[in-house]
A and B are shown apart, each in its own frame.
With several copies, the nearest count.
Chain A
């Protein structure tokens, strides 16, 4: 299984990432999730902070776990950091497999664990005020269904 993990300020190219995963027809199925900064009232900026090295290590652990649960040929996780605007892309999780259901399930598994385990923090700017986004308890519930 090929695993690509990138934490970056720049945007990403879905065509290039998904094509790289499909590997010229080695995998028939690529499921992917693209997350965007939602447009919300007076939200002007979303600033993402993370814990360098641990982020990559944690995502690698999650990808490895996904690879033991499902027959995957590749996993790509890209997470942006820094200052983002409403409508900007934040995250890509893409999973390739010979089997469509494996690709879907592993992609959802990775998103659920990314939301609860990967050390990123969002700060919102609204007008001249900044505040830290609160963790969503619904995300903890989402993770529970994958526990063995």
Chain B
């Protein structure tokens, strides 16, 4: 699974991208897994109301199902335009 982080999520986690094979079938269980990887992840995902998710470059929710080849991105609410 290819994970991407943007803006302050990227800064808190300390990397912009990583490859993982987590035991997660949906976004919620992926986040639960990530929060156990270290305090940087715990802090980044402390308040899920501030996190937005994309799966394969489409906006998605916590219940979106995941497969091993998916690209999952975590980022703050967008501020473009």
Contacts and interface: CB of A to CB of B under 8 A. Distances in A.
Interface residues of A, number: 28
Interface of B: 4, 6-8, 54, 57-59, 73, 75-81
A12 interface: no
Contacts of B80: 48, 50, 79, 90-91, 114-115, 118-122
Interface stretch (A13-21, A65-73, A129-137): A129-137
**Chain A interface mostly:** mixed
B59 to A, nearest CB: 7
A91 B81 contact: yes
B81 A90 contact: yes
Contacts of A120: 78-81
A35 B81 CA distance: 7
